[in-house]
């Protein structure tokens, strides 16, 4: 039997086609939310041409996302995708309250390479996040909150493989 782990995605990996580009074992487990964290954008990503998403402690806030089940083999590719070896993100464990009201320990990633540049995501990156949120039926008010995030207007090519719109 293949060993697996649960991964909480809140950014571009919300979108099935995006996570499966590098992590073919990913299987949708459920959706859920992490309490006392907020979605934030920091660290200018040249790949995305805008600020990358992270979660930061914020009492009373919550971040919705998707819980994926991945094979242990894909942990290495997921870490590489998230820039763990480059010091961009670090893996953390979060407690996800699932839509079924279970608490599930999950791996997530948090930015550690913070910069004082423009903290707005590119339009193309924000679009991938919103498409993933819609695909998995995250709450309507949360999707509207994502739509309200100010982006930097960049909608051109990015140096990352993207699923077609």
- Residue 165 in this model has a pLDDT that exceeds 60: no
pTM: 0.94
86 annotated as ligand-binding: no
- Residue 162 in this model has a pLDDT that exceeds 90: no
43 annotated as ligand-binding: no
What average pLDDT does the structure give for the chain?
A: 93
Nearest to 56 by CA among 112, 138, 129: 112
Nearest to 106 by CA among 163, 30, 1: 30
Q: Is 69 one of the annotated active-site residues of the chain?
A: no
Look up residue 76 and give its two tokens.
């290495």
40 annotated as ligand-binding: no
User: Which residue is catalytic, options 82, 100, 135, 144?
Assistant: 82
Give the percent of the chain with pLDDT over 90: 83
Question: What pLDDT does residue 161 have?
Answer: 65
What domains are there in the chain, each with its CATH number? 4-147 (3.10.490.10)
100-132 pLDDT per residue, tens: 999 999 999 999 967 667 899 999 999 999 999
Calpha distance 6→27 (Å, rounded): 10
11 annotated as ligand-binding: yes
Are the CB atoms for 85 and 77 separated by under 8 Å? no
């Amino acid at each position: 039997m293949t060993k697996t782990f649960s991964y909480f995605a809140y950014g571009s990996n919300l979108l099935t086609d995006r996570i499966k580009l590098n992590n073919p074992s990913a299987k949708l487990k459920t959706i859920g939310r992490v309490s006392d964290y907020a979605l934030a954008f920091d660290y200018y990503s040249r790949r995305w041409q805008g600020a990358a998403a992270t979660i930061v402690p914020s009492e009373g806030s919550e971040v919705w996302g998707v819980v994926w089940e991945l094979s242990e083999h894909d942990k290495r590719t997921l870490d590489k995708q998230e820039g763990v070896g480059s010091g961009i993100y670090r893996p953390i464990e979060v407690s996800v309250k699932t839509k079924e009201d279970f608490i599930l320990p999950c791996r997530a990633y948090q930015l550690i390479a913070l910069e004082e540049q423009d903290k707005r995501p590119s339009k193309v990156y924000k679009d991938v996040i919103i498409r993933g949120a819609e695909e998995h039926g995250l709450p309507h008010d949360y999707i509207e909150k994502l739509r309200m995030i100010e982006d930097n207007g960049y909608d051109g090519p990015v140096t990352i493989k993207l699923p077609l719109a």
